[in-house]
Amino acid sequence: MGIPKIYNTEQELVLALKQRENQAFSTLYDNYAGALYSIIKQIITDNNELASDVLQEVFINIYRKIDTYDQTKGRLFTWMLNIARNASIDMLRSKSYQNSQKNQELPDNVYKGTANQSTQLNVDNIGLKKVLEKLKPEHRILMELAYFKGFTHEEIAEMMSIPLGTVKTRIRNALLQLREYLQ
């Protein structure tokens, strides 16, 4: 591979990625794979093999979709983070994942289990979930469902039996708290 090329700015890296330079993807992996894998594992909590498959899929998606990345809409990491989150949630909802989760067959149980699970798994939580721990429990559950399970506000309102407006307000508040923690 020769001497690893250095990308001084994100812009340079993006340009190289759009040129489909192998070195650029290697650099991208070195810099971000761990962070992205962390997000994936916060969604695919119980299957490292599938989480690893998702990571691979995320990089393939980045390779395929890099031309659609628009720097004016946000940072490269934000873009990749959303790809990772979407791919993880897709996996979560896929048949192969559902089949590996045979214990949770009834949707209601899944929802309840999700809430319980998130509390239980907090012990091992990492990344954003670590931040979520600091939120009030009612905020944390909503963030868990919205961000890590990919449910819409409407779905959350239905499954939690709380008004849609309340869901929105709580998630907004949770997000604002999140911002404070991240600063």
Partner 1 sequence: MNIQQYIESGIIETYVLGLASPSESAEFEQLCAQYPELVAARTKFEEGLEKHALANAEQLSTGVKVKVLEAIEDTASAGAGERVSLNPPKIVTMQNESKKGSSGWLRFVAAASVVLLIGLAWFSYQFYSQNSELQRSNTALQEKLNSTQGTLDKIVQEQSIVKDPNTTVVNMVGTKVAPRSSANVYWDSTNSNVYLVVKNMPKLPSDKQYQLWALIDGEKQPKDLGVFDAKDDKIILKMKDTKKAQAFAITIEKTGGSPSPTLDSMQALGKTLQSQ
Please report, as ranges, the residues that interact with partner 1 according to CB under 8 A. 20, 22, 25-26, 29-39, 41, 52, 55-56, 59-60, 63-64, 72-75, 77-78, 81-82, 85-86, 126-128, 130-131, 146-147, 171-173, 175-176, 178-179, 182-183
CB of 6 to partner 1, least distance (A): 18
Helix boundaries (H) for the chain: 10-18, 22-43, 48-65, 76-93, 95-100, 107-121, 127-132, 137-143, 153-160, 164-182
**Cβ closer to partner 1: 109 or 127?**
127
CB of 23 to partner 1, least distance (A): 11
**Cβ closer to partner 1: 56 or 100?**
56
CB of 108 to partner 1, least distance (A): 24
**Cβ closer to partner 1: 47 or 86?**
86
CB of 111 to partner 1, least distance (A): 18
CB 28 within 8 A of CB 13: yes
**Cβ closer to partner 1: 20 or 136?**
20
Vertex 87: Cα angle to 84 and 88 (nearest 5): 80
CB 48 within 8 A of CB 41: yes
CB of 165 to partner 1, least distance (A): 14
CB 54 within 8 A of CB 40: yes
**Cβ closer to partner 1: 15 or 60?**
60
**For the residues of 50-93, what is the DSSP string, one character each?**
HHHHHHHHHHHHHHHHGGG--GGG--HHHHHHHHHHHHHHHHHH
CB of 141 to partner 1, least distance (A): 15
CB-count burial class (<10 Å; 0-12, 13-18, 19+) for 70: exposed
**Cβ closer to partner 1: 72 or 161?**
72
